[in-house]
Amino acid sequence: MSRLLIIGCGGVAGVAIHKCCQNSDVFTEICIASRTKEKCDAVKAKLEGQTKTVITTAKVDADNKDELVALIKDYQPDAVLNVALPYQDLTIMDACLECKVDYIDTANYEPEDIEDPQWRAIYDKRCEELGFSAYFDYSWQWAYMDRFKEAGITGLLGTGFDPGVTSVFTAYALKHYFDEIETIDILDCNGGDHGYPFATNFNPEINLREVSAPGSYWENGHWVEIPAMSIKREYDFPQVGMKDMYLLHHEEIESLAKNIPGVKRIRFFMTFGQSYLTHMNCLENIGMLSTTPINYEGKEIVPIQFLKALLPDPASLGPRTVGKTNIGCIFTGKKDGKEKTIYIYNVCDHQECYKEVGSQAISYTTGVPAMIGAALVVTKQWDRDGVFTVEEFDPDPYMDMLNRFGLPWVVDENPKLVD
Ligand code: NDP
């Protein structure tokens, strides 16, 4: 019996909401609140009558802490699930802190305005000290540790698929298969085809910023940064086939490097087709990925936001996308003194997701774990005061729920390694 406030009503939220409604024994009531209330009302209208979960909706600007606090005080949720954008993480955490309510999200903080001098000074120092230049990192949210602890609330960070399930796979591998994990390769393969020459599978601004940034990996206690897309490998993915994949910086590397004792190397690879890369390079070369506002005929526009308005809405890709995703982790390490290798992965079919919840597999593979993280927090199966990433909790109930809620996983004890 619990009450969840869900902030954001885009692609990922749509799936998380469906899944909360499939788990109405836990989520007896949910409130969907976003900037555009009509979207929340439309989702509510679609689900009402098919679920025992009582759904209400609200309008909120999650950049405004006072509005959030007023909504939380009014709705009195047991927890807040943030599936808006990473830009809103800190205001939502501030509001949860003020109201002493648990907080859950799927992506770590990233500022909307990377030219803000105050943010920039901290960022430049971090780049120098830590050696990776991504605009997002955990430091902003880890800084809430003591305040969440004092308030007696849980902050669960990054419960999507990657980060999220990939980190739970790591905790599960460590608990059941290894005494020590030496290397982790996280492989994110989208074998889906939406039929457009170019589109992004989730929020274009967040997606393109991530992919066009330099890559980096963790090795022997420090970061190694490389030019964007400069390390390429081929991998034969179960149920998808041979794909090109590229090394990217990714946020779970940062928390896994901190939380997995003795790990020597962590890399993240994502598959991209040639058409996607050609379009992205071209857009970058002409300045369309810039977040710096320009003046166009007397009006200020942000190029990447204008591009977002031109591109297909990720939430609209569902009916057209065919094929499968395969996301998982290859671990090497030792068990009882012997070398060991395992690959834990999930395969998800775009069209099956669409039939079930009306969305493609990228939103599905993020929305299901968002619901699972929220369920484990509100039922107190995961209950620690402070701010934590998912690998810091017992992975077993999470792995069990992945099987029950549409993301079954496989353990391959003899996988091909990535060189
Ligand atoms: P969308 O752009 O589809 O949806 C974002 C939603 O947030 C929209 O409903 C938007 O409202 C709402 N929103 C934006 N700004 C505000 C605000 N100031 N106040 C209230 N609501 C706001 O994004 P996705 O669903 O694709 O992504 C959601 C989150 O999931 C992102 O943080 C993304 O990084 C993360 N993600 C995580 C993954 C993982 O595996 N861990 C994978 C994919 C995504 P409106 O419609 O009115 O604009």
State which residues of the chain have pLDDT below 70: none
84 Cα: distance to centroid of ligand 1 (angstroms): 4
How many residues in the chain?
A: 419
Q: What is the pLDDT of residue 65?
A: 98
Q: What is the pLDDT of residue 291?
A: 86
pLDDT tens-digit readout, 287-325: 999 988 999 999 999 999 999 999 998 878 889 999 999
Strand partners, 345: 328, 410
The ligand 1 atom at the shortest distance from the C-alpha of residue 160 is: 41
Instruction: Give CA angle at 368 (183, 347), nearest 5°.
Output: 55
Q: What is the pLDDT of residue 212?
A: 86
**Both tokens assigned to 397:** 């109930």
Q: How many C-beta neighbours within 10 Å does residue 275 have?
A: 11
366 Cα: distance to centroid of ligand 1 (angstroms): 11
Match 């409604």 to its residue by tokens: 21
Q: What is the pLDDT of residue 211?
A: 86
Q: Mutate which of 5, 17, 18, 35 to test ligand 1's pocket (most atoms within 8 Å of Cβ)?
A: 35
The ligand 1 atom at the shortest distance from the C-alpha of residue 11 is: 25
pTM: 0.95
Are residues 57 and 37 in contact, defined by beta-carbon separation less than 8 angstroms? yes
Q: Are strands 299-301 and 294-296 parallel, antiparallel or unpaired?
A: antiparallel
Q: What is the pLDDT of residue 202?
A: 82
Helix spans in 181-292 (H): 204-211, 251-259, 274-285
Q: What is the pLDDT of residue 205?
A: 84
Helix spans in 260-411 (H): 274-285, 303-310, 350-357, 361-378, 396-404
